[in-house]
Structure 1
C-alpha cells in the first residue's frame, strides 16, 4: 500500500489530501529460459502465485513437476520437468461474462472427487473472515480469497485481482502439501468460469462467494462436480451446484 496526494471533492467543497492506494506490480515469468507471461499482481506472495497459477491452469499436475522456482526483483525463473504444456497453443480465454460453453470438452474437464461436507455456518464464517480486510477498508482496491478446511482457515490472501488471489492460496496449499479435496474456497469476488475451472483443476470441493456467479461457471461446475454457493450474506446463500456438500 502506498499513499498518494489527491484533490478530495465533496459537494461544493474541495480539499487537498492524501489517500492509500494498493500496489500493482508486473511479474515476469520465465519457464525453462523462455518468457511465459507477465502478470500484473499485488507484490506479496509471488512464489505462491506462480506455483498456484501453473497448477490451476493445468501446466503442472503437482509440485513434483516443478524442479526449481526462484524469485528475484519481480522476475520468476521456473524449471519444469515438462515445459511443453507451457508453450502449447493458447486455449480460448474465458471472460466469465457471457459466451457459450460449446467448446467445453467433457473428456478434458477435471473432475472433482471430494467427500467434503460443510455446515452452512462454516461457509458464513469463512466469507465473513475474508471480508474483514483492513487493506480493502483502507483502499477499496483488493479482493480477498481464503482456502479453508473443516478446522478453519489454511491461507487467506488479498490481491488486486480475484484470479491472482485464488492462484496464491492454491499455490500456498500446493507448497504445503494440502489435500485440496478436503478444502473449500471463499472469495469476495464474482465466481466466473475461470474461477470455477481453477478450483476444479485443483480438486477443491466448494467455492463460495458473498457475490454473484455466472451461467458458464455453473455449467462448468455441473460437468466437473464442483459446488458453487453465491450471495453468502447473513443467513442467506444460494446453492447452485453440488448441494449435497452443504449440510443443514
Structure 2
C-alpha cells in the first residue's frame, strides 16, 4: 500500500487535551478536544498576521500562507524559517527585501472558519494562472481516494472540530494536513510543496470543507487543476472555478459526487453500481464536518 509522505499524528499530546463532562443522559464522560493556539508570523522583521492553529508544522503553514497571499513569490529564495514554540512566533527571511505595510491595510474577511482573512489583492495572480488542459480524473481514482482518506489517521475522528486537506496523485494520497480552519490546512500543503520542490503537475487537491471562493483561489494559485470536497459549493466558488478552468467536484461521498466545473476532465472508468456505500460512521461525521 502507498504510504503518504506526511500525515497528522492523532496521538501527539500537543494537539489534543482530555476533558471531563457529561453526556445527554447525565453520565460522566471523557472526551478529547483540539488545542487552538496563536501563531504570529513575521516576514523579514515585519509582523504579518497572527493565526489560530493547532500548532503542528508551523514552518509549512508560514510559507504556505505567504505564498497564497502573494507575499512570497515562487522563485523567492528563503534563507531561513525559524520557529520559537515558547513565543509562538515563526519568522521567515528571504533574500529579497519586502515591505507590505500598504498591503496589510487592505484586508477582507473570508468565509473560512477560525478567523480566516485574505488580503484585498488576493486575486492578483489568479487571472495569470493557466491550469493544464490535459489533466484527467478517473472515477476509479476518485473512489479509491475517498476510501483511503476515510481510513487515514485523523484528528477529526479523534476529537472533531477540525478540517482536513489532502494532496493526491492519481489514486494515491501524498500529503494529509488538518487544522481548525481549512485555509490553514491548504496553506500547510502549499508550504510543503514549496519547501520540497513538489510541483502541481498531475496533482489532485481534496478538502473536507466547503468549496468557497478562497479554496478555489488557493487551489488555482497552487497550479492544481482538480479540487474535490465532501461538502458543498458557494456560487462565487463555482464561478471562479469555471473562469479558471478548474475541475470542481463536491458532495463526494461513497459512489456519489457532483461536478459543477471542468467536467470534461472526468474519465468514467468505474461502474458506480459496484462501488460500496460509505460506512455509516464516516457519513455521519461528514455531515457534522459541513457544519463546522
Contact kept? 1:106, 1:223, Cα under 8 Å: no
Contact kept? 1:191, 1:214, Cα under 8 Å: yes
5+ unaligned residues in a row in structure 1: which ranges?
98-102
Contact kept? 2:112, 2:181, Cα under 8 Å: no
Correspondence for 2:197 among 177, 188, 203: 177
Cα distance in 2 for residues equivalent to 1:47 and 1:240: 34
5+ unaligned residues in a row in structure 2: which ranges?
1-14, 114-120, 269-292
Correspondence for 1:52 among 50, 64, 67: 64
Aligned pair 1:9/2:23, yes or no? yes
Indicate the residue corresponding to 1:125 in structure 2. Answer: 144
Indicate the residue corresponding to 1:209 in structure 2. Answer: 229
TM-score, structure 2 as length reference: 0.75
Aligned residues: 241
Report the CA distance between 1:186 and its aligned residue. Answer: 0.8
User: Aligned ranges for residues 144-223 of structure 1 at < 5 Å?
Assistant: 144-150=164-170, 152-223=172-243
Aligned pair 1:90/2:106, yes or no? yes
TM-score, structure 1 as length reference: 0.87
Cα distance in 1 for residues equivalent to 2:30 and 2:124: 52
Distance 1:62 1:22, change over 3 A: same
Cα distance in 2 for residues equivalent to 1:188 and 1:107: 25
Report the CA distance between 1:152 and its aligned residue. Answer: 1.8
Contact kept? 1:28, 1:75, Cα under 8 Å: yes
Report the CA distance between 1:168 and its aligned residue. Answer: 0.8
Correspondence for 2:130 among 106, 112, 115: 112
Instruction: Looking at secondary structure, tell me which structure has more strand per residue.
Output: 1
Distance 1:65 1:90, change over 3 A: farther
Q: Structure 1, residues 20-78: CA drift from partner, whole Å, max 9, x if none?
A: 01111110101111111000011111111111111122222215343321111121111
Indicate the residue corresponding to 2:92 in structure 1. Answer: 78
Indicate the residue corresponding to 1:100 in structure 2. Answer: none
SS at match of 2:135: coil
Indicate the residue corresponding to 2:276 in structure 1. Answer: none
Indicate the residue corresponding to 1:238 in structure 2. Answer: 258
